[in-house]
Structure 1
């Protein structure tokens, strides 16, 4: 008879170790630092940070998962087929049990998947899942996901941490997590305890992972001190910290990701009320110079919302202002600033004559409109702020840092695409996402595209949607996001990939 969940808990280790240094762990433990806040690994809810996603993926399997190279691999489902029309995915569930000891069945898996999908309602991720029609039980261990339309990247979506499946409020591994102070200790689950075939010498082939979530400076310092074997979750704001990493300590690994990296226009007040003025901001930016100080080889700037050359890209939308030099663009943008200033001054004079003058003087208008921007804390953000401030000053605008995204005129968007299709970008910037300005017309074209009957019609409508969103100038693109990790040479089970995703279970296998 298989042990119950209560029996597992009773057999769990009772000795808690402290995080005083590497000497506090045995040699079979891999120490991982993830950039974030201390309580991030223990978050719950719909949307969690990088640490929380890593923990969820490690402890709550979905139908499928990602390996270290970003490839979709079996998890609770050991095989699947896709019908010729692309509108039905049929999964055969593996033999074995849930962590509770109950057998994995189509009924229980359907219930768990329905619950997971329902929990994501009113999130941006739910927009990517809109094509799912229903989940059906086909046989004892076979379920079908029926689609309203083809979703070529459904497997990549099902492998996301948010679609891990709970049974009786508990995940099915492949690891278990124990909280030890601020440390999340992850222990690989012996497959035989889940009704799976036994793996000889399991304890000698796997190791624990001790995960800490720390600020960028703390995580890099821990790596440099030899107390962390791996640092994950690196973004642009902390990239300058990697200058302190010597070649003998490890290597800086960059993931070849695509996605959104730019500025969201948060309101349409004052200078930002006119799309042409919002375009002026985009025209002023020297994108090559923006990233030059980071010394990132291979990074490509773009003025397009959707990363060029993705699947379905017709190539009809090119880079903006390609016929103009940076100086010519800035001259056009500066003229728009002056026109707005003259109009604002004229309106102000009228109000003064009418006795409705507000506090303040005309000096601010003479110095140029002031734009506020929200950026995350970090040296990299300081570099971006200084460079953008210089770019905007070149057209007569003043830039200041805002305390939060809610009060800012502009906010940094820095998100990796879950799948490489235009619809991901357009969903992320849609009115349903409820983040800053948007375009109802662009959303309408996306809806039409999703209802299209041919790939050609769908691609054409997606192109129209991108054009509509571009014309509204509600998002100012820089290029692809930047994701980096620090990896000690002795670490196995890590690989860069296009999703920027680094699961923990592959890291738990001991090197042979």
Structure 2
């Protein structure tokens, strides 16, 4: 028998249970004098050769914000003609100025603003009702029934269960990107028994689906017009706004329009350093999407109280191409994994012990999932270095006369360069010399997709509390770097039939252990994310999902920067 589920949290099964997440403590330390004044990064510990590789090739493996820009933004632009020109005299005010660090972050911000899903997320990233006003999860977790609220698309048409079924079926077929399609692999059926009721049938309990349904790739769109139902409408920038920016204005037909404080916003894509400088000059109120690049500069120069740090569900990994010598030798792969001091790496780069190491393949802050820990994690680092030297000697290398030379492919990013300088310093101590091959972002994605690298630095993220995005790139059919462990693939396949979430995660944990021991990739560190938030803004809360919807923000003109 189904039990009513409180719809303000992804894991609540009874009324009166408030959704919770583990509290996160972020430790920051003052930077030592050896930091460069221009970047905020420590002085390099090792010298490495840098090769610059340029390419205009476009990768077929686009990140989901790029897919969204094509699939979701255009209908929102076209729909502007269907609505009144303004909501009142305040609409002419200067919009909230938002800088996004990079095009990907900008697309994600806009996609979140113009779309709405069955569920939504509050300012802290917790699941709350969206287009569905409530839902029920069956006792066995294999059925979720949603009841729609009265809501309209931007053109005025009513949101119906048929629109929901069409949108979700499209996503299951891959129209919303491979990541979303694969996270929906446990959904066996989507049906609409009534015009305002939708049922999802599952092969295994997946409470994280409630969070996934709040993400832009699973936004509900009208079957024919492809209109959206989000809190904002996207249009051409208003006069006086930044060139290339996307202008957003509040959607009066949004189901919760009375709770959206912002009348308008302008989202501009820029580089990290430029975003920091613009914010410090008071030209913008919000910078979102900060990662490796600009981290040191933001810490060093941002006005007091404006820097917000968070630890996303992400991992920086070093991919190893097992099809290339000498990485086909498991002794070499194990030696590389042993020789990196991950905890020191995180603290040296981010200046915080909260930037924890990743000993296996996935980060430590996925709710309900404990990543496996390789046996060597209990060894002192000095002992691991000695074992690494022995393994390399057995493989035919010598730290003096025949050092192992490897090339690592990275993006043209100051942050990635700095991170790999730290890794190179560790590897140099056991007889390994790294050469950096810097590529533009598209070329890097293409190199990883085609296996055109020896080593490659990559970042993997999960939009929900699931380790899957860190694991399925290692499936035999999913990579071009020679990784293939049939036993791990079998565990992955069987996990979709597990009767409970706990049993499913146990199977995935064992698969991750096998891939990590094989050297499918070397986990490095869980990165820190950063944002700059003006004191004039309220409603911003750091969270592991990096969810910062503009609809939750408001401006308090009485607040100012602290000098």
User: What range is the shorter-chain TM-score in?
Assistant: 0.7 to 0.9
State how 1:71-470 maps to structure 2 within 5 Å. 71-120=126-175, 123-167=178-222, 168-180=225-237, 181-191=243-253, 199=258, 205-248=261-304, 250-293=305-348, 294-308=350-364, 311-313=367-369, 317-341=372-396, 366-404=401-439, 405=444, 406=447, 407-434=452-479, 436-440=481-485, 441-454=487-500, 457-470=503-516
Q: Matched residues in 2 for 1:121 and 1:31: separation?
A: 28
Is 1:30 matched up with 2:96?
yes
Contact 2:101 2:288 in 1 (8 A): yes
Change (3 A) 1:254 1:438: farther
User: Secondary structure, in 3 states, of the residue corresponding to 2:494?
Assistant: helix
Q: 1 CA distance for matches of 2:331 and 2:505?
A: 27
Question: Unaligned regions of 5+ residues in structure 2, if any?
Answer: 1-76, 238-242, 559-563
Higher helix share: 1
Say if 1:430 and 1:494 are closer, same or farther in 2 by CA, change over 3 A: farther
Q: Could you tell me how far 1:184 is from its partner in structure 2?
A: 0.7
TM-score (norm 1): 0.81
Q: For the residues of structure 2 that align with 1:391 and 1:461, how far apart are their CA atoms?
A: 33
Tell me the CA shift for residue 93 of structure 1: 1.2
After superposition, the Cα gap between the structure-2 partners of 1:216 and 1:67, relative to the gap in structure 1 and judged at 3 Å, is: same
TM-score (norm 2): 0.74
Check whether the contact 2:174–2:180 (CA below 8 A) recurs between aligned residues.
Answer: no
CA–CA separation in structure 1 for the residues paired with 2:368 and 2:256: 43
Q: Does structure 2 conserve the Cα–Cα contact (< 8 Å) formed by 1:68 and 1:495?
A: yes
The Cα of 1:402 is off from its aligned counterpart by 1.5
SS of residue in 2 equivalent to 1:380: helix
Question: Cα deviation per residue 1:163-205 (whole Å; 9 max; x = unaligned)?
Answer: 11222122112100113240111111113xx6x58849x8xx5
User: Secondary structure at 1:145's aligned position in 2?
Assistant: strand
Where 1:486 maps in the other structure, the secondary structure is strand
- The residue aligned with 2:42 is none
**Residues in 1 aligned to 2:351 and 2:251: alpha-carbon distance in whole angstroms:** 42
Q: Relative to structure 2, which stretch is displaced further, 371-380 or 220-229?
A: 371-380
Cα deviation, 1:45-102, whole Å, max 9, x if unaligned, reads: xxxx222122112112111122221011222212111111111111111113222322
Which runs of no fewer than 5 residues in structure 1 stay unpaired? Answer: 15-24, 41-48, 344-363
After superposition, residues 38-77 of structure 1 pair within 5 angstroms as 40=103, 49-77=104-132
Structure 1 residues 246 and 508: alpha-carbon distance in aligned structure 2, compared to 1, 3 A threshold? closer
Corresponding residue pairs, total: 459
> Structure 2: how far apart are the matches of 1:418 and 1:245?
30
Deviations 1:102-157 (A, max 9, x none): 22221222122222332347713322110011110111211111112211211111
The match for 2:541 is 495
> Contact 2:231 / 2:257 at 8 angstroms: preserved in 1?
no
The alpha carbon displacement at 1:297 in A equals 4.1
Larger Cα-atom Rg: 1
Q: Provide the C-alpha distance between the structure 2 equivalents of 1:215 and 1:134, rounded to a whole number of angstroms.
A: 43
- Mapping 1:8-23, distance limit 5 Å: 8-9=80-81
Please, what is the CA RMSD of the aligned residues?
Answer: 3.0
